[in-house]
């Protein structure tokens, strides 16, 4: 496969190379072959992009919000028209199977439509004053330049989650996409530009996190950082941003659990587990890497799950009939296999999988461990691969305690026919998302997305909650009495 030359960084409406001429290659996970070369940006490139965003902000913040929203509607139309092309590209550069890749693009379409609608809302509040002839309201104000650092596992959806609300609120953006999926990021930005976004409103700098990403986080003229990635990197981002008291939004890891009670529909539960554990090769922050099973159905569920996992067909995402695609790169493959060895060493029982597929590409067989205890590393640490662990429990209370025994709190699920247990799970599971009789994946754009504990720092993506990341509140008081009135002054 010939290595294509990408357009470069988009800065102030112009496609340019890195200042020092350095470059890197994107690989096809299914084959390991090079796909395209991109500029390896550094601090100089980031500074140029930030200056372009600062300049564009002066006018963009004054563009009426409905007009900003209209650009997002056009962007959604362009994404829709290019959905097949983007889906095909994603099967190659990221490795998702077609159905999942198409879903990734659809999320971006949905987010663009939702946030486009916010251009005619962006609601504040009006409240009555304690004084006569006085009006009060609160409004949302843009913050400035947003630094968006996005991962490779949702290379179209997650940039949309961050960029769409940022720009409809009147901010400008510098995007540093993942180095594993730069071509998809480039195509995303091209369509946004085609939708009519003015030059400099969204800029992109390609490259590595420790170079371009770090420079973006530390830049004094970037007051907002939105980052999706690992817990460890999230901590580093927070520390680097602290000197400038930046707004930092973090969407970090997960160690998500599905609880299966004795009264569950086991066929439905297995279907949900397979999709949640092995979809996207387990490379989702919402992937189900723990299955907490009541002992009455433990053996039966174990048997059904192993059979279902072994029926899955591995292959390139663009091939018909593929169920599970490759991992993103060699390092990911090695990490997943290390956790297989850790599980064995800890005394967990390997039921199926646990091995790399020989040949080209970065494939790993869907892996199921049984008889896992809650304190084991494979039950505590995020693996980010097609590995899940079965943990037997005796009661609902033990199931919830086990689910809550990890440092993360992103997604959770329970399969049960008991409505009382379902409502107790909604209340007691320590997670930002809870599903009833469904797996741990499948969030929709009009509800908040994010988690508790070490999954983030309290902010949310999607829904109305996303607007709080990209706006400042301003309270406004209008006194039309014609005289000085002093609030909170006792005049009696």
pLDDT tens-place string over residues 157-170: 999 999 999 999 99
Task: Check pLDDT > 80 for residue 59.
Answer: yes
DSSP 311-330: HPPB--TTSTT--B---SSH
At the fourth CATH level, the homologous superfamily of domain 4-252+456-475 is: Aldehyde Dehydrogenase; Chain A, domain 1 (3.40.605.10)
pLDDT bracket for residue 455 (50, 70, 90): very high
Return d(Cα 19, Cα 181) in angstroms, integer: 21
Return d(Cα 134, Cα 114) in angstroms, integer: 35
Task: Check pLDDT > 50 for residue 1.
Answer: no
Q: Could you read off the pLDDT of 265-278 as tens digits, one per residue?
A: 999 999 999 999 99
Task: Check pLDDT > 60 for residue 416.
Answer: yes
Task: Check pLDDT > 80 for residue 3.
Answer: no
Domain 256-436 CATH class label: alpha beta
* Cβ 288 vs Cβ 256: under 8 Å: yes
Which amino acids are annotated catalytic? Answer: 251, 285
Question: Could you state, in order of their start, the residue ranges of all structural domains in the chain?
Answer: 4-252+456-475, 256-436
The set of residues, in sequence order, having a beta carbon less than 8 Å from that of 367 and lying 6+ positions away, is: 309, 336, 340, 350, 352, 353, 354, 385, 386, 387, 388
pLDDT at 492: 53
The set of residues, in sequence order, having a beta carbon less than 8 Å from that of 348 and lying 6+ positions away, is: 369, 370, 371, 372, 376, 378, 389
* Cβ 405 vs Cβ 377: under 8 Å: no
- In whole numbers, what is the pLDDT of the chain averaged over residues? 96
pLDDT at 458: 93
pLDDT bracket for residue 4 (50, 70, 90): low
- Residue 100, exposed/middle/buried by CB under 10 A (0-12, 13-18, 19+)? buried
Rounded mean pLDDT, 26-30: 96
Handedness of CA 269, 275, 277, 278 (dihedral sign): positive
Percent of the chain whose pLDDT exceeds 70? 98
- Full-prediction pTM beyond 0.75? yes
* Cβ 167 vs Cβ 72: under 8 Å: yes
pLDDT bracket for residue 6 (50, 70, 90): confident
pLDDT bracket for residue 414 (50, 70, 90): very high
Instruction: Take residue 57 and report the two structure tokens written for it.
Output: 């902000």
Task: Check pLDDT > 80 for residue 491.
Answer: no
Q: In DSSP terms, which residues pair with 392 in a beta bridge?
A: 293
pLDDT at 5: 61
């Amino acid at each position: 496969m010939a290595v294509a030359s990408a357009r470069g960084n988009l800065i102030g409406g112009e496609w340019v190379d890195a200042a020092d001429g350095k470059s890197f290659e994107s690989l096809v996970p299914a084959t390991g072959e090079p796909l395209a070369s991109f500029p390896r940006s550094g601090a100089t490139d980031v500074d140029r992009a930030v200056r372009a965003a600062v300049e564009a902000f002066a006018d963009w913040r004054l563009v009426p919000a409905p007009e900003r929203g209209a650009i997002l509607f056009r962007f959604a139309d362009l994404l829709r028209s290019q959905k097949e092309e983007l889906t095909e590209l994603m099967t190659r550069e990221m490795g998702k199977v077609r159905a999942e890749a198409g879903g990734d693009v659809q999320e971006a379409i949905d987010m663009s439509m939702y946030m486009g609608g916010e251009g005619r809302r962006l609601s504040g509040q009006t409240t009555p004053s304690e004084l006569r002839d006085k009006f009060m309201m609160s409004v949302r104000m843009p913050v400035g330049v947003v630094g968006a650092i996005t991962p490779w596992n949702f290379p179209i959806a997650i940039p949309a989650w961050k960029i769409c609300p940022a720009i409809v609120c009147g901010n400008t953006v510098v995007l540093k996409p993942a180095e594993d999926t730069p071509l998809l990021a480039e195509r995303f930005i091209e369509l946004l530009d085609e939708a009519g976004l003015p030059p400099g409103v969204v800029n992109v700098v390609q490259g590595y996190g420790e170079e371009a990403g770090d420079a973006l986080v530390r830049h004094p003229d970037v007051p907002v950082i939105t980052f999706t990635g690992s817990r460890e990197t999230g901590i580093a981002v927070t520390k680097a941003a602290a000197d400038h008291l930046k707004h930092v939004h973090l969407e970090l890891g997960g160690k998500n659990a599905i609880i299966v009670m004795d009264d569950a529909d086991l066929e439905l539960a297995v279907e949900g587990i397979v999709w949640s554990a092995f979809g996207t090769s387990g490379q989702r922050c919402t992937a189900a890497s723990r299955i907490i099973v009541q002992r009455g159905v433990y053996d039966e569920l174990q048997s059904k799950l192993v059979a279902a996992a072994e029926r899955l067909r591995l292959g390139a995402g663009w091939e018909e009939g593929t169920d599970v695609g490759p991992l993103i790169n060699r390092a990911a493959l090695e990490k997943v296999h290390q956790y297989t060895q850790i599980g064995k060493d800890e005394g967990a029982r390997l039921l199926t999988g646990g091995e790399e597929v020989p040949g080209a590409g970065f494939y790993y067989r869907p892996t199921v461990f049984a008889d896992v205890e809650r304190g084991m590393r494979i039950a505590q640490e995020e693996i980010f691969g097609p590995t899940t662990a079965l943990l037997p429990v005796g009661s609902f209370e033990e199931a919830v305690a086990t689910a809550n025994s990890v440092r993360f709190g992103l997604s959770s699920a329970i399969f049960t026919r008991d409505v009382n247990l379902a409502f107790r799970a909604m209340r007691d599971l320590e997670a930002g998302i809870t599903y009833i009789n469904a797996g741990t994946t499948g969030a929709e754009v009009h509800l908040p997305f994010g988690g508790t504990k070490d999954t983030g720092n309290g902010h949310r993506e999607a829904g109305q909650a996303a607007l709080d990341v990209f706006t400042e509140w301003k309270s406004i008081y209008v006194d039309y009495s014609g005289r000085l009135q002093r609030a909170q002054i006792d005049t009696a």
